Structure 1
């Protein structure tokens, strides 16, 4: 393993190589077709200079799929900083990291324990691998109605029931920035010979240290995928994949990364990943104090209007806000009307993702706070609340009792799919009304987005709780990734 003390974290090898390339004032007779931004300059003058770094595998710029120069050095620095056996730049987002990580470990028929609160890319990987998933439902914070951590007892129970588990696939932190005792779960998995694979999309900045939570790797994960573009200053689709286990199937991983990622990787994305690692590795205690001070000043100014939810183990860069009487979706809409855009909303709250600021770095907190205050000063929450309650009551009157529709906490414990992936391939699909779908086997995902956690996955039995959650979310304005018939109140099921 490369040790961080042996490498100069002030270097940005790929960024430096691209700068040397630009200083040559190159003339492009190669792809991409915008020719160092010249062909786009009449349309977007301010972007043309940046596009000079949108290069290809030229001499001195290395090749992501056969890295041995600047890209390899940048990846070595990444591994040294995060303390991994090996780390990789990803240019197709954390989605490709989840796919490659899972496909490398899982073979057809392998049994895996899977966080049911996982991203849809994890489910896609399982289907491609033809694995045999057992879903583990997280505990529910009943006061806030959101997924929390996992019960150790549930994992002990799972390994007693299933003696052939190949891997545990977990999400850490949650999309709300909530963490849990991942080390305890990892210890149980390792005692039973299973890999621990973690979708750590929202935790790339945890390596900076306290008061941020510990990283998944530090808590025993064998592999972790991080979206550097979510919490660090990388471009969209820029992510990291870290492998901690020396016995990981690296050859298979190399194949899947090569097969699933573009053979023409984006140099601006890779350059931004090099920068994101440098940014985190050189983040000082003064920077942390400045970031947190700015956060406190922002939240304090708005505390008379917004209620901030705080939970132990929560990422300080995630602010969860509620406004009495408004659903989260309505609150998000009001804020967007003022030009303030939050990461996501649910029935109760919105999620602010705050910036990781270096000491003295400006951010328009004051402007945002003023806009929020002005937008909320004219809101009448009572009418919205009464309208929401009326819609929910109408859904309950249509045949779903409160006990049947208790929501997230109805779904718990360990569950398996009712059909194997191979069986699904052989069955026909039909669309039926919500009422007719009860008790049938779902054939397509139903996914509120963001965050991309499916309410229904193919192979699951449709229950009242599923239908109620779908209706409740749609009534409140949630966005869904789903096919057109879904928006006509129909679900896809197997015949």
Structure 2
């Protein structure tokens, strides 16, 4: 498999070049002694835009070739390497489509980067509440009837922004939704962060790139063997201005992009291409099936499976639940005592992200886990999820982001916040999906659920005052 950028870096390194350029470690010759052994293999690749190594912001050589190979693999017009993660791709695609006061239809359980992009654009979001999966008890996908109703209410919307799959790997075929939006001249932007491997084979969900989406962003580092912060943005649109997209990528991405990250994206594409050409998806699925058997052999753990007929679950995502009443947080803590580190926990579940690989997965302390499984310290309180509590499937923001900037911002006790607009997002992390969004009216129900999240051990991003029972609000009437 071709790896043009990685190969160019290898050739440069073999010349034993003298570095009189940035970065300051000078190909690893200047470095802390105690860390030298750890970093010495990668530092010669950590270079800058030298002759023969191309420039991410004006690619003509190795980077351009690597991006073209990736676009060819995914079957899109253009692919752009992202070194600031899917976050930068989400920001750029929203900004490329939306301006101040534009209406944008957005899935309510979107990542915070989508919402940040809408705020930066000054656009007005209309939130579409997803269906809640009855087994997982997490938001899943936007139903077709919700899409149709939203477009009928807001026919001038500048974009429809969807998240598929959700963090737990629940995905649907977006073809019909995308076709419906396109017929009404609305581009569809998809945060498919967890689906960069979907093109592996038909046992995986259908990728949005094949469903016809205008822009799709993939976190290659989540399920492909790429370095953290390595992502792809795929462009395949006649509705979105490509020049504007490239402009925002040039503004938002670092002017000193990481060559190790870019090279890992080149290698990740080659790895995926090899799997496809050799038709190895069935070998991967067999490894996953064997791992499921190991999990099923633990009496106190059960695998969570959706009953929704429209949902296809990504095989790389395995969600488990304690059968004896442990919360997801307690189960995750227990597994970590056995050196098993999982992706996330919620009040009920624990999520594993399995590798896209052929090597057998073994739980080293399986027998110990079976013999010494903990008992719950208190009963699970089932939280009513944000998507379940909303009275409307389609919910415009009450006060525009532009108007909110003129409101007075204060940090108040939870009780005093009721009835006012949230001035900060309450974001359990992972998965980084806001439980309360900026501009949302705070209710007593929301406050009680935030208290419960804190009580049962959820990690919430934000200022320390959240843990002290305080929240920033925009005062209504100010």
1:26 corresponds in structure 2 to 17
2:170 corresponds in structure 1 to 178
Please say which of residues 227-236 and 33-42 is displaced more in the overlay.
33-42
- Using the TM superposition, give the Cα deviation of residue 286 of structure 1 relative to its aligned residue in structure 2, in angstroms: 5.3
Secondary structure at the residue paired with 1:202?
helix
- State the Cα deviation string for residues 219-265 of structure 1 (Å, max 9, x = none): 12100110000010000000000001134211111111111111110
Partners of 2:472 and 2:42 lie apart in 1 by 45
Partners of 2:370 and 2:443 lie apart in 1 by 38
Matched, 1:475 2:455: yes
2:343 corresponds in structure 1 to 343
Please say which of residues 337-346 and 484-493 is displaced more in the overlay.
484-493
Partners of 1:379 and 1:471 lie apart in 2 by 28
Secondary structure at the residue paired with 2:280?
helix
Matched, 1:442 2:436: no
- Using the TM superposition, give the Cα deviation of residue 146 of structure 1 relative to its aligned residue in structure 2, in angstroms: 1.0
2:321 corresponds in structure 1 to 322
Partners of 1:282 and 1:238 lie apart in 2 by 19
Matched, 1:453 2:433: yes
1:378 corresponds in structure 2 to 372
Secondary structure at the residue paired with 2:377?
helix
- Using the TM superposition, give the Cα deviation of residue 156 of structure 1 relative to its aligned residue in structure 2, in angstroms: 1.0
Secondary structure at the residue paired with 2:160?
strand
Shift of the 330–19 alpha-carbon distance from structure 1 to 2, 3 Å rule, reads same
Moved over 3 A (4+): 405-408
Secondary structure at the residue paired with 2:33?
coil
Partners of 2:230 and 2:443 lie apart in 1 by 37
Secondary structure at the residue paired with 1:185?
helix
- Using the TM superposition, give the Cα deviation of residue 406 of structure 1 relative to its aligned residue in structure 2, in angstroms: 7.2
1:3 corresponds in structure 2 to none
Is 1:327–1:349's contact at 8 Å kept on the other side of the alignment?
Answer: yes
1:487 corresponds in structure 2 to 467
Is 2:108–2:387's contact at 8 Å kept on the other side of the alignment?
Answer: no
Report the number of matched residues: 465
2:281 corresponds in structure 1 to 288
- Using the TM superposition, give the Cα deviation of residue 385 of structure 1 relative to its aligned residue in structure 2, in angstroms: 3.7
Partners of 2:99 and 2:455 lie apart in 1 by 41
1:308 corresponds in structure 2 to 303
Secondary structure at the residue paired with 2:467?
helix
- Using the TM superposition, give the Cα deviation of residue 376 of structure 1 relative to its aligned residue in structure 2, in angstroms: 5.4
Secondary structure at the residue paired with 1:141?
coil
Partners of 2:221 and 2:406 lie apart in 1 by 39
Matched, 1:410 2:409: no
Q: CA RMSD in A?
A: 1.7
TM-score (norm 1): 0.91
1:154 corresponds in structure 2 to 146
- State the Cα deviation string for residues 266-321 of structure 1 (Å, max 9, x = none): 00000000001111111045532222222121221221322111234000000001
Partners of 1:304 and 1:407 lie apart in 2 by 34
Partners of 1:149 and 1:123 lie apart in 2 by 17
Partners of 1:107 and 1:336 lie apart in 2 by 45
Shift of the 334–111 alpha-carbon distance from structure 1 to 2, 3 Å rule, reads same
Please say which of residues 455-464 and 313-322 is displaced more in the overlay.
455-464
- Using the TM superposition, give the Cα deviation of residue 136 of structure 1 relative to its aligned residue in structure 2, in angstroms: 0.2
Partners of 1:289 and 1:197 lie apart in 2 by 31
- State the Cα deviation string for residues 373-392 of structure 1 (Å, max 9, x = none): 424532332x4243x45xx8
Please say which of residues 289-298 and 347-356 is displaced more in the overlay.
289-298
Shift of the 406–18 alpha-carbon distance from structure 1 to 2, 3 Å rule, reads closer
Secondary structure at the residue paired with 1:102?
helix
- Using the TM superposition, give the Cα deviation of residue 431 of structure 1 relative to its aligned residue in structure 2, in angstroms: 2.1
Partners of 2:167 and 2:122 lie apart in 1 by 27
Partners of 2:415 and 2:134 lie apart in 1 by 27
Is 1:441–1:459's contact at 8 Å kept on the other side of the alignment?
Answer: yes
Please say which of residues 283-292 and 88-97 is displaced more in the overlay.
283-292
Partners of 2:283 and 2:275 lie apart in 1 by 11
Is 2:319–2:351's contact at 8 Å kept on the other side of the alignment?
Answer: yes
- State the Cα deviation string for residues 48-101 of structure 1 (Å, max 9, x = none): 122111111111000001100000001111111111111100000000000111
The runs of 5 or more residues in structure 1 that have no matched partner are 1-9, 393-401
Shift of the 286–183 alpha-carbon distance from structure 1 to 2, 3 Å rule, reads closer
Is 1:145–1:408's contact at 8 Å kept on the other side of the alignment?
Answer: no
Matched, 1:79 2:71: yes
Is 1:32–1:56's contact at 8 Å kept on the other side of the alignment?
Answer: yes
Partners of 1:373 and 1:468 lie apart in 2 by 40
Is 1:168–1:196's contact at 8 Å kept on the other side of the alignment?
Answer: yes
Partners of 1:272 and 1:415 lie apart in 2 by 41
Partners of 1:214 and 1:310 lie apart in 2 by 19
